[in-house]
Structure 1
């Protein structure tokens, strides 16, 4: 599995500091379309505008059946990656988590490479361990828990799967 891009250190520190603020959570969804465009134009080499270690997750829409791509902060874990459905602390789960629960086969784009993965909802002791990894990378996740009004943020482990060749 390719390594996640390392953010620009000064920019990464600044973003982590302001990541707890309500205005950041309110503004970030407005930036996501631009982030998707940058990821597409750079063929997945720049995601989250290079501010945090990230990947582009492409799920299958649970209702539409169409591919849906979402830039996400990610943490490496062995041969896979860990992501969380924080939705910036909003009370509802982000759509990508519902898609991944309905259709666990997905792809991630990391460093310009597309990798087939299987999404698995982490639970129990594994979730606790993965949560610590996520909060170490993005401390604002703990703030998002408090904002989410009792919603448990879904933590997923994205594990590599074999690419199935047609025919």
Structure 2
């Protein structure tokens, strides 16, 4: 009885993230896999209860050069939705800063490319999309609490 009661009343443990060097190495390997396979490996569409992956191509805000990053995403109608989380590190990811300076970008999907315009979701839309991400990742709130700022929910709207 004592052990069960203590476990039931003990505070929930914060989910553990891998060490930063491991996260960065995984990013490098994933990018290389996508690049060398020309997108045949490493990109996938979201499924119920799971996010997909895309390559987001932005314009560098200082260099003007194309920058590419692989991101997880969910679909919301025709829009793609991602989180500006930088591996849960505190600074904003460079790709999000680039999109704030120049919101037009290109996305490589498993089945083609798409020109998009980025914006930050606000209000009820943000809450709805954040909840959708929480359904996919039960630890999302705990991970987001590691950052000193609110994690932006980024909507990538197709440009027709």
Match in the other structure for 1:157: 155
- Please tell me whether the aligned partners of residues 82 and 157 of structure 1 are also in contact (alpha carbons under 8 angstroms): yes
Distance 2:132 2:40 in 1: 23
| RCO higher in structure (CA 8 A, sep ≥6) | 1
Query: Is the aligned partner of 1:21 residue 2:16?
Result: yes
- TM-score between both structures, scaled by the size of structure 1: 0.77
**Rg (Cα) greater in structure:** 2
Distance 1:75 1:49, change over 3 A: closer
Runs of 4+ in 1 over 3 A off after TM superposition: 48-52
- Please tell me whether the aligned partners of residues 58 and 98 of structure 2 are also in contact (alpha carbons under 8 angstroms): yes
2:105 alignment partner, SS class: strand
Distance 1:38 1:53, change over 3 A: same
Q: What is the aligned-residue RMSD (CA, Å)? A: 2.1
Q: Deviations over 1:136-161 (max 9, x none)?
A: 2233322221111x311011111110
- How many residues are matched? 142
Unaligned segments of structure 1, at least 5 residues: 1-19, 163-167
Shifted more, 70-79 versus 112-121: the winner is: 112-121
Distance 1:100 1:31, change over 3 A: same
Distance 2:86 2:43 in 1: 15
Match in the other structure for 1:53: 52
Match in the other structure for 1:123: 122
- Please tell me whether the aligned partners of residues 43 and 109 of structure 2 are also in contact (alpha carbons under 8 angstroms): no
- TM-score between both structures, scaled by the size of structure 2: 0.80
Q: Deviations over 1:74-131 (max 9, x none)?
A: 0011001100011222111111110111111001111141111111111111111111
User: Per-residue deviation at 1:47?
Assistant: 2.7
- Please tell me whether the aligned partners of residues 60 and 67 of structure 2 are also in contact (alpha carbons under 8 angstroms): yes
Q: Deviations over 1:17-75 (max 9, x none)?
A: xxx42226652122112211111122223336999521111111111111111111100
- Please tell me whether the aligned partners of residues 44 and 109 of structure 2 are also in contact (alpha carbons under 8 angstroms): no
Distance 1:160 1:49, change over 3 A: closer
